[in-house]
Amino acid sequence: MNITNDLVTEYINHRYRPLSSRLGQLRQIGEQDNVPIILKETESFLNMVLALKQPKKILEVGTAIGYSALYFAESCKDAEIYTIEKNEYAARSARHNITAAGLESRIHSLFGDGQEQIEKLRDQGIDGFDFVFIDAAKSHYKRFFDAAIALCEENALIISDNILQRAMTVSDQFDINGKHKTNIKKMREYVDYICSDKTLDTTLMSIGDGIAVSIYRGENG
């Protein structure tokens, strides 16, 4: 189920405008091929957050075909972006799309597991991220988060997408066939974790499929 009323979502999305024709086309391709790129309402929310934050160094876990990475690059003209994708085919498509957009000097597309690739960045001395977008395997958010936060500067924003998982995080009644028990349990643990961590100010929002916005207040909170 959608976590907001379908008519409300339709009303809001009717007013959505893509940032560029390139992004509009890529969204269409993603939707045709059933690639789970960020929802329009999530993107609209990010427009505001990115305009306020103006991040310079962005880390993303979950590239898919590169839609959100390209969106970050287009909306934050000075930002350098590191994006990680575990699926080889998707990573290859993302690189193709990033190169076609001429943005390969600003978007570093990394192939592999999110945590492992973040730890490789750490080993290379790459840190100072001020914006993190977590949008990959839902039951692994905690390990992506822990690896990423170690490379973040104070006041970094960490956005976790799909935290409500079509409301299944809220109640088991929405897991109709009981197929998502593990994912639900892990997501609930993750939400509790980021909401109780004293080094973070976390706000949960029912936008798109649910978003957590965490501000990292530094090691001493």
The binding site for ligand SAM (CB under 6 A) comprises 36-38, 61-62, 64, 67-68, 84-87, 90, 113-114, 135-137, 140
CB of 87 to ligand SAM, least distance (A): 4
Pairing state between β 200-205 and 211-216: antiparallel
The DSSP line for 80-123 is EEEEEE--HHHHHHHHHHHHHTT-TTTEEEEES-HHHHHHHHHH
Given the complex with ligand SAM, which of 111 and 217 has the nearer CB atom? 111
Closest CA to 43 of 70, 21, 25, 64: 70
CB of 137 to ligand SAM, least distance (A): 3
Q: How far apart are CA 55 and CA 75, in angstroms?
A: 10
The conformation of residue 39, written as its DSSP 8-state character, comes to P
Given the complex with ligand SAM, which of 63 and 214 has the nearer CB atom? 63
CB of 27 to ligand SAM, least distance (A): 9
CB of 33 to ligand SAM, least distance (A): 12
Given the complex with ligand SAM, which of 147 and 152 has the nearer CB atom? 147
Given the complex with ligand SAM, which of 85 and 130 has the nearer CB atom? 85
On whether the CB atoms of residues 15 and 43 are closer than 8 A, the answer is no
Q: How far apart are CA 171 and CA 112, in angstroms?
A: 32
Six-digit token string for 177: 């066939």
Looking at the DSSP assignment, which residues form a beta bridge with residue 59? 82, 132
CB of 218 to ligand SAM, least distance (A): 26
